[in-house]
A and B are shown apart, each in its own frame.
Chain A
Amino acid sequence: MSRNNGRLHLWAFLQGIGFFPGGWRAPDATPRAVFQRDYYERVARLVDDACFDAIVFGDQLQGRDAAGRTPGRLAIPTLDPFTLLSVMAGVTRHVGLVATVSTTFNEPAEVAAKFAALNLVSQGRAGWNIVTTVHPNSPWNFGAADLLEKSLRYDRAKAFVDAAEVFWRDAAGLDDPQRAANLKNRWFDIAGTLDFPTSPQYRPVLVQAGQSPDGRNFAAQTAEAIFCPAPTLEAGRDYRDDIRERARTFGRNPDGILIMPGLAFVLGSTEEEAQRKHALMLELADDALCIEYLSESIGYDLTRHPAGGPIPLEQICAECEFPAGDVRRMLAPAAEAGETIADFCRAYARKPRGHAIFVGTPDQLADRMETWIDAGACDGFTLQPGYMPTELELFCAHVVPLLQVRGLLRRQYQGTTLRDHLAVGVGT
């Protein structure tokens, strides 16, 4: 068999029931299964057999309510990522397992211990998507009134990762030249580490999703892989070039960082079939769902107002939980143009979270991936199936073989740890 690790990396972002907010209503969607062990075991085996680098789960540290009202039409319970990945570790041999964890509402000791445990039960397959938490309601669940200001959040994030590194190095018996400074500083005053067991790949692979200048600098200093939205090939190339340049500035080899933009997809055996399925996804997100979707995004309960009425911009800006300036920028043009609440919300929910959406056949998707790789727009993709589990199954059955035939994707794993799959070396 081929000893080729491939030049296309695939990560599976498997949040809840999939990418589209209405996807849980698809005839073949299985929204109740996301509460069951069997579902996660089955999905994990599928991705492991398809030679993906990793499975990723996002995370949030707040309920999904807007001003206390939890949406009734969104499929929202998101199970704890560590728990899901721990279950998946038990039924797979190779695929990496990446958990999203905040550096703002945790302590290095706890996070280091958790990743050491995930790394142990998976025998070296853990990854950490490092986030700083931006939702204004999150602090309320931790007895805090407000978030830290953004540059401070990243300052803490850097110190947090450095402190966690000491825990992992101590456990593995490795020296850390910065040990003292990384344990006692502006953010932390740590007197000793914990004696948890070590395992292959002594610490998790570090993953980041920085967008702002602070975030990009943090990612360029720290990350071994980066998620980003890239709606166009040019946007992807600009982002990748920028991160690689920043990495050089910090004295890092830019090849030590994989750029993995998000890519949602809906597959059909013909283009018409794929378009029909996409139209169904949009139709299943009815007005009431779309209004709840925007309500959650701004922290204001729009269901209080008539769906066909005007956008009450001033009232929203006075009461919303997200920063009023951001909300005003988002809504003002539509409000001034006289759009109704339902019109705006429908348009907003069509393109969730700013990621690129592919609709077409397996051949077309493989072409697109190859084009992006050849153009230097990315090192691979963080795939977001339109809805679960059908779209993931279609991808594994019909796109993966095409990518393998083209020599883009490995036919078998070349190593056992997540860092082996990334082939980026030890990183920082």
Chain B
Amino acid sequence: MYLSINIDIPDGAGDAYDALARTADRVEAAKADFAILARAHGDQGLAPPRIEPVVSLPWIAGRLRTPLVVAAIPALHSVPFHIARALSAADFLTDGRCGWLPLLAGGARFDAAYGVAQPLSGGEALAKYDDFIRATRALWDSWDEDALIIDKASGAYLDSAKVRRVDYRGPYFAAMGPLNAARPPQGHPLLLRDLDEVGESATAADVVLGGLDRLDRLARAPKGAVRLLKVTAASLDDGLHHVRDGLADGLHLMGPDALELLEALRGWVDCPPYVGTTARQRLGLRKPVNPYSRKGAA
């Protein structure tokens, strides 16, 4: 059973740095399987964190050596090129332990800050969410896995035939590529989805999270996807019951006592027997196929 938790600087924390560092160190000591840089609202809502997650993830991954580290990203206000670039670097520097959770949440707050006069309708927001994921993945696909050669003697650094312009054109985003960053070790960093806000999507997620009232959506998750059930101290017993019944693969712990809950659970929940280092290897997920790679190439 996987144990997952979200981390952020608490509202009103006197020393933000200290609060974040201490939280991270407790999460590491409790050997969480997932640490998601996200802010909680209510008992099961997730939003992008107060601290910018893409920049703070590489730092916090230095303290979090055990968990998979995930950035909750405002999908409607982020740029695929910047995200693809940063997460490529993060995936390299965490040995393939990073993931991303694009969120619709936080829209109004971000709309004001980004100067968006007309908020998107629900359908438009979902279409932009999908477009954001597709554009970002297309940029990762602009490099083949085996593009780098790095042979000092011959002077061959990479195979030019394995890096390309992808000319992605979607309804909201366009990106020519190639990305100025190599294909991440995982192929694509792990994609997480919050089923409480995105029920249906044209893009398949690797890990899904949902509340107890979303068991139907968890059940429809793509085959092989890791299913995390959001619980608080009050709903822990129900959550454990559903995991035992095979309706979920782990718990995402929320509420004011989430950290204490994690520490208590780790007292008797064994860490999964991980094989390999990357998130995909640990979770038994396949690497994504690169549609641009020639046959036989990665």
A83 to B60, CA, bound (A): 11
Closest to A61 in B: B81
Chain A 106-136 interface mask (CB, 8 Å, partner B; 1/0): 1101100110111011010000000000000
B17 / chain A contacts, CB cutoff of 8 Å: 120-121, 123, 199
Q: Which of A31, A40, A121, A194 has the most CB of B within 10 A?
A: A121
Q: Which of A83-99 contact B (CB under 8 A)?
A: 83-84, 86-87, 89-91
Contacts known (A36-B93, A70-B160, A120-B51); A77 close to B182, Cβ less than 8 A: yes
**Contact in complex: B88, A71 (CB < 8 Å):** no
Size category, B interface: 35 or more
B241 at the interface (CB under 8 A from A): no
Residues of A within 8 A of B93 (CB): 36-37, 40, 79, 83-84, 87
- Contacting residues of chain B (49-83) with chain A, CB-CB under 8 angstroms: 50-60, 62-63, 77-79, 81-82
Q: Among B55, B85, B174, which residue has its beta carbon within 8 angstroms of that of A118?
A: B55
Residues of B within 8 A of A284 (CB): 155
CB within 8 Å: A-B pair count: 201
- Lowest 7 A-B CB distances belong to which pairs? A197-B16, A192-B112, A143-B174, A140-B176, A83-B89, A63-B178, A117-B52
Kindly list chain B residues whose C-beta atoms are within 8 Å of the C-beta of A167: 113
> Are B57's CB and A31's CB within 8 A?
no
In the complex the two chains form, is B50's CB within 8 Å of A192's CB? no
B residues less than 8 Å from A288 (CB atoms): 155
* Chain B residues, Cβ within 8 Å of A91: 62
Cα distance A35–B90 in the bound complex, in angstroms: 10
Using Cβ atoms and an 8 Å threshold, which residues of chain B touch A123? 17
Query: Residues of A at under 8 Å CB distance from B?
Result: 22, 24-27, 29, 31-32, 35-37, 40, 60-65, 68-80, 82-84, 86-87, 89-91, 105-107, 109-110, 113-114, 116-118, 120-121, 123, 137, 140-143, 167, 188-199, 284, 286, 288-289
Interfacial chain A residues near B79, Cβ < 8 Å: 105-106, 110, 142
Q: How far is the CB of A57 from chain B (nearest CB, A)?
A: 11
21 contacts between A and B (CB under 8 A): A35-B182, A36-B93, A62-B180, A65-B163, A72-B160, A76-B180, A77-B180, A82-B55, A82-B86, A83-B89, A86-B57, A86-B58, A87-B62, A117-B56, A121-B60, A142-B79, A142-B175, A196-B52, A199-B17, A284-B155, A289-B155
Question: A143, B175: Cβ atoms under 8 Å?
Answer: yes
Min Cβ gap B13→A in Å is 7
Closest-by-CB residue of A relative to B172 is A143
Instruction: Point out the residues of chain A lying under 8 angstroms from B81, CB to CB.
Output: 61, 105, 141-142
Q: Is the CB of B157 within 8 A of A75?
A: yes
Judge if B278 is at the interface, Cβ distance under 8 Å. no
A residues less than 8 Å from B266 (CB atoms): none
A79 touching B89, Cβ below 8 Å: yes
Inter-subunit contact B158/A72 (CB<8 Å):
yes
Q: Is the CB of B92 within 8 A of A63?
A: no
Known: A86-B58, A140-B175, A142-B175; 11 extra A-B contacts, CB below 8 A, are A71-B158, A73-B155, A76-B158, A84-B93, A121-B20, A141-B81, A190-B114, A192-B113, A195-B50, A198-B16, A284-B155
Given A63-B165, A80-B86, A117-B56, decide whether A196 and B51 contact each other with a Cβ distance below 8 A: yes
A191 surroundings in chain B (CB, below 8 A): 111-113, 115
